[in-house]
Homo-oligomer: A and B are copies of this chain.
C-alpha cells in the first residue's frame, strides 16, 4: 500500500523547470561545489576529465541536494509532522540535516549493526534513530510503523521525484560551467543520481551522452538494461553506496536516457580511488571512484572526449580506505 503522502502529492517525471526550481530552492542550503581537473590524470586516461566534487558537499555527499529539495517541497502541513526514512548511509544524515534546517523532526530507521559514526552523524542533526534488524523487511516494517505513529512523510533515498530533481542539480552545475561535455558518467546504485543526471543532460546539455558505472558485484543496472525489467542486486562490492537495486521511478528514466552501463571490479575501483587520492589530492569514497575505474577500463570509448564525472562523496573511514589500498 502506498504511503498517504505519496498519494497526496503525485509528481510527474521532473521537467527542466522543476529541476531549475529545485536548484533555486536548495541553493541557500548546499554548496555550489568546485570542479577539478588534472593534466596527469588526463594523460593516463587519454581524455579530458572534469570532476564535480560532491565530496565537498554538505554532509560530504551529493545526497544533501535531493533530501533538501524533498523536504523543502513539502506543504507546510506535511512538513510540520516531520520526515522519515530508512537508510544507513549518506541519505540518513542528509535528511536529518534538511529537517533540522527546516525546524522539523526527522525519524531515521537504521539497522542496529550500523557503524556508531553514522549514528552520531544523524544525531548531530537532531535526527531520532529507530534501530531494527539488518534486513530490508525489518527496515520497511519499522519505517511504516514510524510513519503511522508520527504522521511523518517518508522521503525515499532515491525512488522519489523530488529527490531525483535535487540530485539533478549537481550535473546542472557542471553543465553551467562546462558547456561542451561529450560524456557524463556517474555511478549507479538505486539510480537517484543517475536518473537526475540523465534528466539534467537531456534538458541542459542535450549533446552530452550519459553513461553509468557500476561494480561487477552489484551489476543489477547492467542486467536491468538488458532484460528490460528491474533486476535484483547481488550487493557484493566494496562500493557500499551502490548495492541497492533500481526503483520504479528511476529505472524508466535510466532506460530512456542512459546509453551504456560499464561494470568494474573491486580491484579496479580501488586503483581508481587511489589515483584520485594521489593525483587530485582529495578523499573520495569507493563509490565515487567507480566512474574513473570505468573510464580507465574502457579507454577507447572515451578517447579524446571531454568527460564529466560526479565524485559522489567522501565519507569513508580513513583506516578502512588506506587498508583497501594495501590489498591491490
Contact A55 B281 (CB under 8 A): yes
Asked, given contacts A322-B322, A323-B322, whether A314 binds B56 with beta carbons under 8 Å apart, the answer is no
Contact A277 B281 (CB under 8 A): no
Secondary structure class of chain A's binding surface, majority of residues: helix
* Cβ contacts under 8 Å, A278 to chain B: 283, 318
| Residue A115 CB within 8 A of the other chain | no
| Residue A139 CB within 8 A of the other chain | no
Chain A, 279-328, CB within 8 A of any chain B CB: 280-284, 314, 318-319, 321-323, 325-326
| Residue A206 CB within 8 A of the other chain | no
Contact A318 B314 (CB under 8 A): no
CB-nearest residue of chain B to A314: B281
Partner of A322 from B60, B280, B325 at Cβ < 8 Å? B325
CB-nearest residue of chain B to A278: B318
Give Cα distance in the complex from A314 to B281, angstroms. Answer: 6
Give Cα distance in the complex from A147 to B325, angstroms. Answer: 42
* Cβ contacts under 8 Å, A56 to chain B: 36, 280-281
| Residue A228 CB within 8 A of the other chain | no
* Cβ contacts under 8 Å, A103 to chain B: none
| Residue A274 CB within 8 A of the other chain | yes
| Residue A134 CB within 8 A of the other chain | no
Give Cα distance in the complex from A325 to B321, angstroms. Answer: 12
CB-nearest residue of chain B to A38: B56
Interface size class, chain A:
20 to 34
The 0/1 profile, CB within 8 Å of B marked 1, for residues 251-287 of chain A is: 0000000000000000000000010011011111000
* Cβ contacts under 8 Å, A283 to chain B: 277-278, 281-283
CB-nearest residue of chain B to A56: B281
What's the nearest-Cβ distance from chain B to residue A41, in Å?
Answer: 13
Partner of A321 from B36, B282, B322, B326 at Cβ < 8 Å? B322
Give Cα distance in the complex from A314 to B36, angstroms. Answer: 15
Partner of A318 from B55, B60, B277 at Cβ < 8 Å? B277
* Cβ contacts under 8 Å, A281 to chain B: 55-56, 60, 282-284, 314
CB-nearest residue of chain B to A321: B322
The 0/1 profile, CB within 8 Å of B marked 1, for residues 138-181 of chain A is: 00000000000000000000000000000000000000000000
Give Cα distance in the complex from A125 to B60, angstroms. Answer: 35
Give Cα distance in the complex from A123 to B284, angstroms. Answer: 29
Interface residue ranges, A against B (CB under 8 Å): 34, 36, 55-56, 60, 274, 277-278, 280-284, 314, 318-319, 321-323, 325-326
Q: List 28 A-B contacts (CB under 8 A).
A: A34-B34, A36-B56, A55-B281, A56-B280, A56-B281, A60-B281, A274-B318, A277-B283, A277-B318, A278-B283, A278-B318, A281-B282, A281-B283, A281-B284, A281-B314, A282-B282, A282-B283, A283-B283, A318-B322, A318-B325, A319-B322, A319-B325, A319-B326, A321-B322, A322-B322, A322-B323, A322-B325, A322-B326
